[in-house]
Amino acid sequence: MTAATLRRVGLGGITGNPIAFAVVLAIMAVLLAVPLAHNGYVEIIFRNILMYAAMSYGWNLIGGYTGYVSFGNVVFFGLGAYCSALLGAHGVNNLFADVAVACVVNAAFAALVGLPVLRLRGHYFGIATLGIALAVADIVANLDAFGGTGGLALKQVDQAHFSLYYYAMWLVALGAMLATYAIARSKLGYAFVAIRENEEAAAVLGIAATRYKVTAWAISAAFAGAAGAVFAPANGFLDPSIAFSIDSNVFPIVMAILGGIGTVAGPFIGALLLAGLNEILQRTFLKIHTLFFGAIIVLVVLLLPRGLVWLFGLRGGARTWLKSLAGYRA
Amino acid sequence: MSGVLAIDGIGMRFGGLWALTDVSFEVEPGSVVGLIGPNGSGKTTLMNVISGVYKPTTGEVRYAGTRIADVPTHRVCRLGIARTFQVVKPFANLTVRENVAVGAMYGREGTRRSTRASFERADELLEVVALTRVAGRAASDLTIPDRKRLEVAKALALDPEILLLDEVMAGLNATEVDEALELLRTVNARGVTLIVVEHLMKAIVSISTTIVVLAEGKKIAQGAPSDVLASPLVIEAYLGSRWVKRQEQLALIASEREEALRVQPPEAHA
């Protein structure tokens, strides 16, 4: 078996390894039981895992499937959160409405911004998205309607229905996951991957690259927006530093890479492990936990460049793995 | 809607260099046009102009009344023009089958095909190019000849009327060249017009109905293979004087052999 074959082992086609996906669905089913533990703190940890998973699925569509690495997807999370907060401030307190509005607003915003920005390639696209993230955060911080830097206090969370937000976030994560699965298997998914693999060759095969890139980013934005829309009322307070935090920008990317980009199971596995790890490290080494965090990310990228999902399809144990490392080319 | 592909006064300038100057010829439906010329004579540039990747500096390419330059790259295949790349461009992380299916999904008939129908079409085409045995492998695993076959299958998946083949036989050994020629004959027999860029003289002579010769960006000859190869201009520009000498030697050897056979009748060997 050549190195090239080894690299391919376990990728399991356009949706990634099916066993990994089955495992993820099973874990999702188990996670439904978390609120039954009646522990608010644990519930919030898992709600955040689901939130990051949904955002990571969003990033995975544009960064993983389409190959356009965005450093600005936090914008969509933040705007989604503000959609929800502003609707609440105007008397609309309906999570379904919040999520629906956030999805539509974000998809439209992504399409609008994407039309010029997605003509850029590689690093230039990444830098442009980072610029957008910073600009939008600054604009929001200076708008009185958005509460400015002082933020917006949302309607007090009803303690009796606290778990409602957990279930809503669970649905958003599941929706993002299943939508990714359906998209990956459809013609749309193949257009995304073709663009990632070779944009010029994709165009010659009849794929209107810009249109599909914008589509990928719009769907990606809807996922992040939905997560934000549930997060805002659950959190009870929103200001630009929360809505557009660095963590919310970086975590979903690292999670997708850790789990396996361009797979359906990857973002969830990444979110579960990374958010869990972060929690443990923060408790154990409060002041220097990010140091360990960084070291772990470096190790994973070096040792598991294809992400954890890859391990599900690994046959032949450590030897195969070592061989594949030797043969891996980015 | 198949019609004549008209290449009309094409000039292509890169900075101060004219890669093509005033190249004109027509391609009849169903024909096989061989495009030859020394390295750097503008063959690949012309392929890029015809397939709409480059907009020509002067002149225009028309197919069935449409100016190719007016059509975005991703729409050229909808017109019925498909191409392969000299440097093959497979989607490395997709399987061979998926590579071809993408073409079937977005090509000329793509909008009418479901995902499943696209995969069925891909299976048919893999049969045609003899890649069924590696259908499930990653495209990055293929050998060079198989990558060339994949490139042809991807282009065929677009259901083209005209197929531009840019050096699909380069780097193949003699047996592989024969197989490739067989494949191209099969494709042409299905009604696809071929424009073939190739360095291998033997291959191009055996398959082409017309040959166009480029040298330094200009068309220096056009016609039936035997006529073109006999043209002194072509021999000088492309084949060189050594080739002529060799042909003369070969002819001499052949006539001597004939002579020898005449002196000793075949019965003498029995």
- Per the domain annotation, does B103 fall within a domain? yes
* Dist. CA A63–CA A257, nearest whole Å: 10
A9 — pLDDT class (breaks 50, 70, 90): very low
User: How many angstroms separate the CA atoms of A68 and A66, rounded?
Assistant: 6
> What number is the average pLDDT over the span B188-206?
88
Residue B92 within any structural domain of the chain:
yes
CB B61 within 8 A of CB B48: no
**B146 and B170 inside one domain:** no
| CB of A198 less than 8 A from some CB of B | yes
Q: Which residue of B has its CA nearest to A3?
A: B141
Q: Determine the pLDDT at residue B157.
A: 94
Query: Are B150 and B88 in the same domain?
Result: yes
Q: Are residues B197 and B64 in the same domain?
A: yes
Q: Work out the minimum CA distance from A272 to partner chain B, whole angstroms.
A: 26
Q: Is the pLDDT of residue A10 over 50?
A: no
Q: What tens digit of pLDDT does each residue of B132-162 get?
A: 999 988 888 898 888 988 999 999 999 999 9
Whether B66 and B121 share a structural domain: no
SS (H, E, C) A107-163: HHHHHHHHHHHCCCCHHHHHHHHHHHHHHHHHHHHCCHHHCHHHCEECCCCCHHHCH
pLDDT of residue B228: 86
Q: Are A269 and A16 in contact (CB under 8 A)?
A: no
Residue linked to tokens 């190739």:
B198
Residue B210 pLDDT more than 90? yes
How are beta strands B210-215 and B218-223 bridged, if at all?
antiparallel
Name the B residues in 147-176 with CB < 8 Å from any A CB.
154, 157-158
Nearest CA to CA, how far is B150 from chain A (Å)?
Answer: 13
Which of A11, A200, A205 is closest, CB to CB, to B77?
Answer: A205
**Domain co-membership, B87 together with B153:** yes
pLDDT of A172 reads 97
Chain B interface includes A330 (CB < 8 A)? no
Structural domain count of chain A = 1
Nearest to A82 by CA among A224, A246, A223, A229: A229
What does the pLDDT read at residue A24? Answer: 94
Nearest CA in chain B to A203: B74
Contacts of A209 in chain B (CB under 8 A): 74
Is residue B152 in some structural domain? yes
Packing angle of the helix pair A74-89, A246-259 (nearest 10 deg): 130
Rg (alpha carbons) of chain B, rounded to whole number: 21
Q: Could you tell me if B72 and B199 lie in one domain?
A: yes
Spell out the residues 6+ positions from residue B35 whose beta carbon is closer than 8 angstroms to its own: B43, B46, B47, B195, B196, B197, B198, B211, B212, B214
Domain that holds residue B72: 1-80+162-175+189-225
| Same domain? B169 vs B114 | no
Query: CB contact, 8 Å: A186 with chain B?
Result: yes
Question: Do residues B61 and B167 share a domain?
Answer: yes
**Contact call for A208 and B74, based on CB within 8 A:** yes
As a whole number of angstroms, the distance between CA B183 and CA B173 comes to 15
* B69 within a domain of the structure (yes/no): yes
Instruction: Using pLDDT thresholds of 50, 70 and 90, give the confidence band for residue A294.
Output: confident
CA distance to A64, A75, A317, per residue, from A216 (Å): 10, 16, 36
In a domain, B180, yes or no: no
Provide the Cα torsion A153, A155, A161, A164; round to 10°.
Answer: -70
Determine, for residues B93 and A190 on separate chains, whether the beta-carbon distance falls below 8 Å: no
Task: Verify whether the Cβ–Cβ distance B93 to A11 is below 8 Å.
Answer: yes
Spatial separation of the C-alpha atoms in residues A14 and A17, rounded to whole Å? 9
Q: Do B74 and A198 touch (CB under 8 A)?
A: no
**B270 lies in some domain:** no
| A144-197: pLDDT as tens digits | 888 888 778 887 666 777 889 999 999 999 999 999 999 999 999 999 999 999
ipTM for this prediction: 0.84
Convert B188-241 into a string of H (helix), E (strand) and C (coil).
Answer: HHCCCEEEEECCCHHHHHHHCCEEEEEECCEEEEEECHHHHHHCHHHHHHHHHH
Same domain flag for B96 and B154:
yes
Collapsed DSSP state (helix, strand, coil) of residue B98: helix
Residue A234, token pair as written in the block: 């659950």
A14: chain B residues, CB-CB within 8 Å: 94, 98
How far, CA to CA in Å, does B129 sit from each of B35, B209, B263? Answer: 23, 22, 49
Contact B158/A205, CB-based, under 8 Å? yes
Given pLDDT bands bounded at 50, 70 and 90, which one contains residue A104? very high
Six token digits for residue A48: 């955040």
Q: What is the spatial distance between Cα A43 and Cα A37, in angstroms, rounded to a whole number?
A: 8
- A5 CB neighbours in chain B (<8 A) are 137-138, 141
Q: How far is CA B54 from the centre of its chain?
A: 18
* In-domain check, residue B183: no
CA distance A139 to chain B (A): 37
Which domain range does residue A177 map to? 3-328
Count of structural domains within chain B: 3
Domain harbouring A84, CATH code: 1.10.3470
Average pLDDT of A21-26? 93
Q: How many CA atoms lie within 13 A of B88 on its CB side?
A: 25
Instruction: Please state, in angstroms and rounded to a whole number, the distance separating the CA atoms of residues B61 and B56.
Output: 9
Give yes or no: residues B166 and B71 share one domain. yes
Alpha-helical (H) ranges within B51-114 are 73-79, 96-106
Is residue B183 within 8 A of residue B149, CB to CB? The reply is yes
| Predicted pLDDT of residue B98 | 94
Decide the pairing of beta strands B162-166 and B81-83: parallel
CB-nearest to A197 from B83, B92, B137 is B92
Q: Report how far residue B100's alpha carbon sits from residue B135's, in angstroms, rounded to the nearest whole number.
A: 10
Residues of B in contact with A201 (CB under 8 A): 85, 89-91
* B153 belongs to a structural domain: yes
| Residues B32-77 pLDDT 10s | 999 988 888 899 899 999 988 889 999 999 998 889 888 888 888 8
- Rounded to whole angstroms, how far apart are CA atoms B190 and B38? 31
- Which neighbouring-strand residues pair with B196? B34, B165
Decide if pLDDT at A13 tops 90: no
**B180 or A79, greater pLDDT:** A79
B193 and B258 inside one domain: no
Distance from CA of B140 to the nearest CA of A (A): 7
CATH number, domain of B199, equals 3.40.50.300
pLDDT given at position A247: 86
Half-sphere exposure of B66 (CA within 13 A, CB side): 20
Mean per-residue pLDDT of chain A: 87
Of the candidates B96, B216, B94, the residue with the CA atom closest to the CA atom of residue B147: B96
Contact A187 B74 (CB under 8 A): no
Does residue B107 share a domain with residue B200? no
Residues of B in contact with A182 (CB under 8 A): none
Judged by DSSP in three states, B13 sits in strand
Considering only residues A4 and B104, tell me which one the structure prediction assigns the higher pLDDT: B104
> Pairing relation of β-strands B5-14 and A237-238?
unpaired
Using a pLDDT cut of 90, give the percent of chain A over it.
54
pLDDT tens for each residue of A30-56: 999 998 887 888 999 999 999 999 999
**DSSP secondary structure string, A260-301?**
-TTSSSHHHHHHHHHHHHHHHHHHHSTTTHHHHHHHHHHHHH
Cα A133 to its chain centre, rounded Å, is 15
Q: For residue A240, which of A106, A85, A91, A111 has the smallest C-alpha distance?
A: A85
Full strand arrangement of the beta sheet holding B5-14: B17-27, B5-14, B58-63, B66-67
